[in-house]
Amino acid sequence: MKLKSLILTTAIAALASGVSAEGIKVGMITTLSGGGAGLGIDVRDGFMLAIGQSDRSDIEVVIEDDQRKPDVAVQLADKMIQSEKVDVMTGIIWSNLAMAVVPSVTAQGKFYLSPNAGPSVLAGKGCHKNYFNVAWQNDNLHEAAGAYAKGIGYKNSFILAPNYPAGQDALTGYKRMYQGELAGEIFTKLGQTDYAAEIAQIRASGADSVFFFLPGGMGISFLKQYADSGVALPVVGPAFSFDQGILQAVGDAALGVINTSQWNKDIDNVTNAAFVKTFQAEYGRLPSLYASQGFDTANLLISALETAHPDDANAFRAALEAANFNSTRGKFEFGPNHHPIQDIYAREVIKEGDVYTNKIIGVALENHGDAYAANCSF
């Protein structure tokens, strides 16, 4: 009897240690083709840089391209969970794709770490205990822009954004902190490239400032056309329209614009300095905020894996919530709804030699959470 139970215990112990020595599979669905590919490629590169720099050989990352199409993203998510049997998912850039994929991923019991998209629904009413956002809640950078605009004294802003969840969050966020008059408010078409009509309306509106959120190619088009139009109103916006990938394509048209971001390459800490240096050495370009978000997401995951495995969901969740890792932003903590509480900086677009980049000029919001945390309960 005693021998039998001893053998049984040893066998179970062997099995258990086998399970915890087993690695983890990460499913990354991100945008690697089409107009918005730069963002997904930055997130992927930042993520893989951190994975490569860690000493672990047991993290397997499966990467797929969602082509910015919600239906493709949903199919890929199903494939990854059911056939690849991933433990953790990550990667989605666009909020409309996140809204299509994340609820079903978390409902199937998998963890989702968002390196970018942070729609308000997933921070508030639709929050889930398995969903973590390492970047920001969508409104955050826009709230910071609004706070900056209010601080500087803009009284009559013209605001525009594309008509999709992140665009709506953008204008809501700006208005929440700005609290001045609005000379005009426009929702443009997602993917629209010609802004002549909108710029004409800005010119005719009597505004004293312009706030816009137009990520990727849309922002490039708008900035070029705006600079050429002769409407010389000051522009403020979130980092999404002024990130490293876009600035080189826009050129002088972006100089002097103030944009808000939770990260910049000149944030002064050891982790960030090393990140910028190694990213540039590995990929031959300066990192953008998207790359820093991918990097931080991977490091959060690795730090959680030090203490728990996703198979033990409660322990893993607690490890994620502890956020015990070195972030490129300095100190990092999650709020109660698993979204970051962090400083958001105001940066100015400058030219360093031949390269267009950003320089921090101040802090727009300090220790800022998000407006939806109170609606979240899990």
Partner 1 sequence: MSTILIIEQILNGLQSGIMLFLMAAGLTLIFGVMGLINLAHGSLYMIGAFAAASVAGLTGSFALALIAAMAAAALAGALVEMLVIRRLYATDHLDQVLATFALILIFSESTRWAFGSFPLFLDIPNYLSGPVTLPGGIQYPLYRLVLICVGLLVAIGLGLLITRTRIGIQIRAGENDREMIAALGVDISKLYTLVFALGAALAGLAGALVGAIQSVQVGMGEPVLILAFVVIVIGGIGSIKGALIGSLLVGLTDTLGGVFLPQLFKLFMEPSAAQTSGSALASMAIYVLMGAILIWRPTGLFGARA
Residues that bind partner 1 (CB under 8 A): 32-35, 37-38, 41, 163, 185-189, 191, 193-194, 196-197, 200-201, 203-204, 216-218, 220-221, 224-225, 228-230, 245-246, 248-253
Long-range contacts of 126-130 (CB under 8 A, 24+ apart): 127/337, 127/338, 127/372, 127/375, 127/376, 127/377, 127/378, 128/102, 128/103, 128/378, 129/317, 129/338, 129/378, 130/105, 130/106, 130/313, 130/317
Beta bridge partners of 260: 238, 346
User: Of the two residues 110 and 265, which places its CB atom closer to partner 1 in the complex?
Assistant: 265
Tokens of 17: 């240690």
Decide the pairing of beta strands 333-334 and 340-352. antiparallel
User: Of the two residues 115 and 162, which places its CB atom closer to partner 1 in the complex?
Assistant: 162
Decide the pairing of beta strands 258-261 and 340-352. antiparallel
- Minimum separation from the CB atom of position 193 to partner 1 (A): 5
- Minimum separation from the CB atom of position 263 to partner 1 (A): 19
Tokens of 346: 């105001």
User: Of the two residues 86 and 289, which places its CB atom closer to partner 1 in the complex?
Assistant: 289
Would you give the DSSP letter of residue 120?
Answer: H
User: Rounded to whole angstroms, how far apart are CA atoms 72 and 209?
Assistant: 39
Tokens of 35: 């107009």
Could you tell me if 171 and 142 are in contact, meaning their C-beta atoms sit under 8 angstroms apart? yes
User: Rounded to whole angstroms, how far apart are CA atoms 348 and 328?
Assistant: 19
- Minimum separation from the CB atom of position 239 to partner 1 (A): 16
- Minimum separation from the CB atom of position 248 to partner 1 (A): 6
Maximum CA extent, the chain: 91
User: Of the two residues 30 and 137, which places its CB atom closer to partner 1 in the complex?
Assistant: 30
- Minimum separation from the CB atom of position 351 to partner 1 (A): 13
User: Of the two residues 132 and 222, which places its CB atom closer to partner 1 in the complex?
Assistant: 222
User: Of the two residues 165 and 216, which places its CB atom closer to partner 1 in the complex?
Assistant: 216
Return the axis-axis angle of helices 95-107 and 165-178, rounded to nearest 10°: 110
- Minimum separation from the CB atom of position 68 to partner 1 (A): 10
Chain centroid to CA 218: 18
User: Of the two residues 53 and 221, which places its CB atom closer to partner 1 in the complex?
Assistant: 221
- Minimum separation from the CB atom of position 251 to partner 1 (A): 6
User: Of the two residues 35 and 70, which places its CB atom closer to partner 1 in the complex?
Assistant: 35
For the chain, how many helices (H) and strands (E)?
13, 13
- Minimum separation from the CB atom of position 356 to partner 1 (A): 10
Could you tell me if 2 and 36 are in contact, meaning their C-beta atoms sit under 8 angstroms apart? no
